[in-house]
A and B are shown apart, each in its own frame.
Chain A
């Protein structure tokens, strides 16, 4: 044990050694090195943050969507702003004395020695007037930074806006590196691509003496860093098409238009109506404008294409047909009578002798029977158990189309929507409390289903591609010649074999040629358009009008979903709008006089008066 006792000397030696090392280091920085004294004597080291240039945003043809415009903030360091002529100062910047006191108290509350914004976003004129006289007021200085500017009034929802970081975010470690007063993306692209757009802040340390005069940089700029500009984004949006889509949805219409290039999953236009000018959420009036938009009963801030979930209506019949063919319970030649048994049909029409006619006439009883053949197949003696099995199998297929799940678009706030499975109905009706007649309305896209307009457009793109889709995205390149994020270059196949798609597509062609979607025909420019109407029953008012389409049939360049709330049947508003959009995209114009008249009717909302 004596041997171990001697270890106390080792431990004591470690203690003493550390104490000695610290005293030597302290002697060095306290007595020998003078630079710390100089730094402290000038008494104020001002840390000027060098804000980087935030990345710009372009459309797919290189048109500028988001730019930066300079603004000036008047900053104050309360500790240095003690001995000023307050009255003169108030006159200079044009505020009253009580306002001054209030602002100074607020600044002191944040920090006595750190700069905080005193007046934000001065105009050029205010800046010029103040700048020259500021030398008389130590503790105040101008900090230049930029805000976002827009040369057009479009795409507000997708672009999003930037704003000051909130106190809660400041406490959160995921926002490490941000300071009070910093700006960051709050919604849309600005938020999703914040890490690329923001760039890297720089910081410059300057020594300032008691009178507020700069005495050069600290330690010859050894601690300074340069700011690095943010990366630019090239989006997939076609600004002209976007503007046209917004025009169609103008005048207080409520709904969405989503157009996708099927070959790539690139979003060509993304409209949420009612929409607003993105420049409302920039500059001095951001706060007021935001509150106005927030209180608006039509909810313009609600990003409908991503966040609104509706029953899909009759467009869902296409999915039912595809799944039934994959399961081998339907062939393109199958006929079912339009028997009005449990579901009625919207109109009288010829006997649906095959799938094509059923799609063309959008026959409800036909698809009721198709869905029943998928779900209730007699694989179990117990009818309840049989439907449970069938529904879960169906659910797997329908999810492979991107329904009831995130499509992972590169914008925040996407909703999943929903597709029922057996567990869902068990919860409502108890196990063995439901069978096919309970759930039949799912067959025609009503009942317990919810899809977003984005999912509808993606569905149209999937059919156009004959069985696969690229996840829809809005940025095609981070940096000028970059790539989209890797998850957007992967083909996602549905669980339905590609060979089952042509019969459905032929049906969609019939819809436009002589079925419910005649108003969408593009015969006059020689383009074969495939589409499907939908009329979604709305217990609160007029039905919602839905149309999905793609064109040209053999080499699809655009797939689209139009959803107009309370506009009546799918044929009345959504189908003409979709065809106008496609014509505009394929040929840059709208031809013939009657098409022009339609266009005007769509814009001023005359279809509300059309009878259906």
Chain B
């Protein structure tokens, strides 16, 4: 009997515990980031980011209760409705919003309360692709379905790029991980990895040299093993051609398509001198802040580098610096471990779903959170380009916290009803 079904017994309290822990730690670090030793204010002061974040956390709790109260089947049946609704809002923002720092992506509600609809496109797209996935079989190579799926996943980032929020758009690449679990060819992931590898190489080696090296290596390999592999010669030639195309198109892309400040964010990875007044400075300051934390850190509120504005955006995109400086490597370890635990728990939860919809959605959640973690922490330690995307549950910001909360708790709401999901899947 449905009425006697106790949701509370089936809610995944482990995930909720991890969520609570991360949000609380995030809140404390935001306070540390805006803390001014000369003018001490309370962590609850609403004029500071920490006070506002507490308000965002409070409203998140209300959102969570609402998400559990909604009929769990609605997420499945309303998936497309939500998706198209968010697309409409994205388009509306693109056309109507006045630009803030060059990006048309903010809905201004009041002077200090602004929402970024791009954040909400993530869970909406996750719902839509999961719904679509439950109706098809990716492995059956039906190109029409595959094209529709790609369209669903690509439409939001295209609009977001037009809003000039390239960072948020990149996140949608994370869906490939979820597609991979549902049967997408591993070749695509491998090509992606090779592309990233080639990308980094082109930053280090001029394109003609790189092309020469690839050609010589390939030529030598073919020469030495000619008898063994001559049957596959066309395959090898096409691999060689593909790599060359990649090398030249990457250089072309960086030099001709990206805007100058975007080029610098990438080039600064290998050469901080590229933009010593801009991003180069940010990355250097961020590394100094984290590096000065040592093994145990300087202690809560004792940081010096993440105060004021040595590090830019310290309570939003660069919040990890505060952790690194005040809590040292141990603090970093705890944060990384928390993320790993959450991601693996989400996969566990996803795998126990009986519906393809639920499982795919679970993987989407894990992939999105993972991508944010990858880029955000990576940029603060100089391993990823400086892309302005938040660290889930830690960074200051209502749009970001709400969207990650919704993303995660829709999964938990579906999961809590998994045992009712007999005939589906």
B291-A36 in contact (CB<8A):
yes
Instruction: Kindly provide the distance from the CB of B264 to the nearest chain A CB, expressed in whole angstroms.
Output: 8
Contacts of A19 on B, CB cut-off 8 Å? 336-337, 339-340
B15 interface hit (Cβ, 8 Å): no
- A40 contacts B308, CB within 8 Å? no
**Across-interface contacts of A31 in B (CB, < 8 A):** 294-295, 329
Whether the pair B277, A29 counts as a contact (CB closer than 8 A) is no
**Cross-interface CB contact of A176 among B186, B261, B293, B351, cutoff 8 Å:** B261
| CB-based contact B287/A29 at 8 Å | yes
Q: Is A12's CB under 8 angstroms from B288's CB?
A: no
Which chain A residues border B332 with CB–CB below 8 Å? 23, 26, 30
Residues of chain B with a CB closer than 8 A to A41's CB? 292
Tell me whether A39 and B281 are in contact in the complex, defined as CB-CB below 8 angstroms, given that A23-B336, A172-B102 are known contacts.
no
Given A5-B351, A22-B336, A36-B288 in contact, is the A11-B180 Cβ separation under 8 Å? yes
User: Is A422 an interface residue when CB atoms closer than 8 A count as contact?
Assistant: no
A15, B329: Cβ atoms closer than 8 Å: no
CB-defined contacts of A40 to chain B, threshold 8 Å? 288-289, 291-292, 304-305
- A residues near B305, Cβ cutoff 8 Å: 40
Q: How many angstroms between the C-alpha atoms of A249 and B377 in the bound complex? A: 66
Give Cα A41 to B289, complex, Å: 10
Q: B194 to nearest A CB, angstroms?
A: 15
CA distance A83 to B177 in the complex (A): 57
**Complex: A199 Cα to B260 Cα, angstroms:** 17
Q: How long is the Cα–Cα vector from A177 to B264 in the complex, in angstroms?
A: 11
Q: Is the CB of A36 within 8 A of B278?
A: no
Q: How far is the CA of A29 from the CA of B295 in the complex (A)?
A: 10
- List, in ascending order, chain A residues with CB within 8 A of B259's CB: 173
> Are B276's CB and A30's CB within 8 A?
no
Using A31-B294, A171-B102, A176-B278 as known contacts, say yes or no to A26 and B381 having CB atoms under 8 A apart.
yes
Q: How far does the Cβ of B130 sit from chain A's closest Cβ, in whole Å? A: 16
Q: Is B309 on the interface with A (CB-CB < 8 A)?
A: yes
Interface-side segment among A107-115, A251-259, A305-313: A107-115
Q: Which B residues are in CB contact (< 8 Å) with A396?
A: none
Contact B344 A15 (CB under 8 A): yes
Q: Main secondary structure on chain B at its contact with chain A? A: helix
Question: In the complex, which residues of chain A have a beta carbon less than 8 angstroms from the beta carbon of B293?
Answer: 30
* Cβ of A143 to closest chain B Cβ, rounded Å: 15
Q: A11-B347, A36-B292, A173-B102 are in contact. Are A4 and B308 (CB under 8 A)?
A: no
Closest Cβ of chain A: how far from B420's Cβ, in Å? Answer: 22
Please, which residue of chain B has its CB at the minimum distance from the CB of A44? Answer: B310
Given A7-B180, A22-B378, A22-B381, verify A15-B370 contact (CB < 8 Å).
yes
Q: How far is the CA of A23 from the CA of B377 in the complex (A)?
A: 10
Q: Which residues of A contact B260 (CB under 8 A)?
A: 176
For the complex formed, measure the closest distance between the CB of B303 and the CB atoms of chain A, giving whole angstroms: 9
- Indicate if A49 sits at the interface (CB-CB under 8 A): yes
A111 touching B308, Cβ below 8 Å = yes
Residue among A19, A33, A35, A172 with the highest chain B CB neighbour number at 10 A: A19
A113 contacts B309, CB within 8 Å?
A: yes
With both chains docked as a complex, state the minimum distance between the C-beta of A264 and any C-beta of chain B, in angstroms. 34
Q: How far is the CB of A210 from chain B (nearest CB, A)?
A: 11
Kindly list chain A residues whose C-beta atoms are within 8 Å of the C-beta of B181: 4, 7-8, 11
Q: Are A223 and B284 in contact (CB under 8 A)?
A: yes
Nearest to B340 among chain A residues (CB) is A19
Asked whether, in the complex, the Cβ of B182 is within 8 Å of the Cβ of A25, the reply is no
Whole-angstrom distance between the alpha carbons of A329 and B131 in the complex?
75
Q: Does A63 contact B (CB under 8 A)?
A: no
Which residue on B lies nearest to A38, using beta carbons? B292
Question: Are A30's CB and B261's CB within 8 A?
Answer: no
- From A8, A27, A111, B309 is in contact (CB under 8 Å) with A111
B344 interface neighbour in A7, A10, A12, A22, Cβ under 8 Å: A12
Residues of chain A lying within 8 A (CB to CB) of residue B273? 223, 225
Size of the A side of the interface (Cβ < 8 Å), in residues, is 48
Instruction: Decide: A30 near B383, CB < 8 A? Known: A8-B347, A11-B177, A111-B308.
Output: no
Q: Which residues of B contact A10 (CB under 8 A)?
A: 180, 186
Those of B165-194 within 8 Å (CB) of chain A? 177, 180-183, 186
Q: Contact check, A37 vs B280: say whether CB atoms are below 8 A apart.
A: no
Contact between A27 and B292, CB atoms less than 8 A apart: no
Total A-B pairs in contact (CB under 8 Å)? 127
Residues A18 and B374 in contact, CB atoms below 8 Å apart: yes
Residues of chain A within 8 A (CB-CB) of B276 are 203, 223-225
CB–CB B272/A223 < 8 A: yes
Nearest-neighbor residue (CB-CB) of A7 within chain B: B181
Interchain CA distance A18-B259 in the complex, whole Å:
29
* Chain A proximity mask over B1-44: 1 for CB below 8 Å, otherwise 0: 00000000000000000000000000000000000000000000
Residues of chain B within 8 A (CB-CB) of A21 are: 383
**Which among B290, B291, B309 has the greatest number of chain A C-beta atoms within 10 A?**
B291
Known A37-B291, A113-B309, A223-B284: A173·B182 in contact at CB below 8 Å: no
Q: Which residues in A have their C-beta under 8 angstroms from that of B378?
A: 22
Write the nearest CB–CB distance from B108 to chain A, whole angstroms.
16
B294 touching A16, Cβ below 8 Å: no
Question: Is B106 engaged at the interface, CB distance under 8 Å to the other chain?
Answer: no
A36 to B287, CA, bound (A): 7
| Distance of A29 Cα from B292 Cα, bound (Å) | 8
Q: Is the CB of A39 within 8 A of B292?
A: yes
**Is B292 in contact with A47, judged by CB distance below 8 angstroms?**
no
A166 at the binding interface (Cβ < 8 Å): no
A25 and B374 CA atoms in complex are apart in Å by 13
Are A201 and B294 neighbours in the complex by a CB distance under 8 Å? no
Q: Tell me, rounded to whole Å, the shortest Cβ–Cβ distance linking B149 to chain A.
A: 16
A179 within 8 A of B: yes
Q: Tell me, yes or no, whether B404 is within 8 Å of chain A by CB.
A: no
Question: Which residues of B are found within 8 Å of A177, using beta-carbon distances?
Answer: 275, 277-278
A69 close to chain B: CB less than 8 A: no
A111→B312 CA distance, assembly (Å): 12
A31-B329 Cα distance, complex, nearest whole Å: 7
> Residue A43 at the B interface, CB < 8 A?
yes
Q: Look across to chain B and name the residue whose beta carbon is closest to the beta carbon of A39.
A: B288
Q: Flag if B340 contacts A26 (CB, 8 Å).
A: no
Instruction: Give the complex CA separation of A7 and B185 in angstroms.
Output: 11
- Bound-complex Cα distance A79 to B309 (A): 11
- Nearest-neighbor residue (CB-CB) of A173 within chain B: B102
Most buried by B among A4, A11, A12, A179: A11
Complex Cα distance A15/B183, Å?
19
Determine whether B258 belongs to the interface, using a CB cutoff of 8 Å to chain A. no
> Are A30 and B278 in contact, CB atoms less than 8 angstroms apart?
no
How long is the Cα–Cα vector from A362 to B181 in the complex, in angstroms? Answer: 87
B274: nearest residue on chain A (CB-CB)? Answer: A225
State whether B308 touches A30 (Cβ < 8 A).
no
Residue B101 is within 8 A (CB to CB) of chain A in the complex? yes
A43: chain B residues at CB < 8 Å are 304
Q: A179 to B292, Cβ gap below 8 A?
A: no
Interfacial residues of chain A within 80-104, with CB under 8 A of chain B in the complex = none
Q: Does B328 contact A (CB under 8 A)?
A: yes
Query: With A40-B289, A47-B281 in contact, is A173–B308 under 8 Å at CB?
Result: no
Q: Which residues of B contact A223 (CB under 8 A)?
A: 272-273, 276, 280, 284
Residues from chain B with a CB closer than 8 A to the CB of A7 are 180-181
What is the minimal beta-carbon distance from B47 to any residue of chain A, in angstroms? 15
Residue of A nearest to B328 (CB): A30
Shortest CB distance B352–A (Å): 11
Interface centre among A29, A47, A111, by most chain B C-beta atoms within 10 angstroms, is A29
Choose among A45, A112, A201 the residue that contacts B277 (Cβ–Cβ < 8 A).
Answer: A201
A16-B340, A26-B333, A30-B295 provided; 14 other pairs, C-beta below 8 A? A11-B347, A12-B343, A15-B340, A26-B290, A26-B329, A26-B336, A30-B294, A36-B292, A39-B292, A112-B309, A171-B102, A172-B102, A177-B278, A203-B277
A-B contact pairs, 22 of them (CB 8 A): A4-B181, A4-B182, A4-B183, A10-B180, A12-B344, A15-B340, A15-B370, A18-B370, A19-B337, A22-B378, A22-B381, A25-B381, A26-B290, A30-B328, A30-B332, A31-B329, A36-B287, A39-B292, A40-B305, A177-B275, A203-B277, A225-B273
Ranked 9 nearest A-B pairs via Cβ: A36-B291, A40-B292, A29-B291, A113-B308, A112-B308, A30-B329, A26-B332, A173-B102, A39-B288
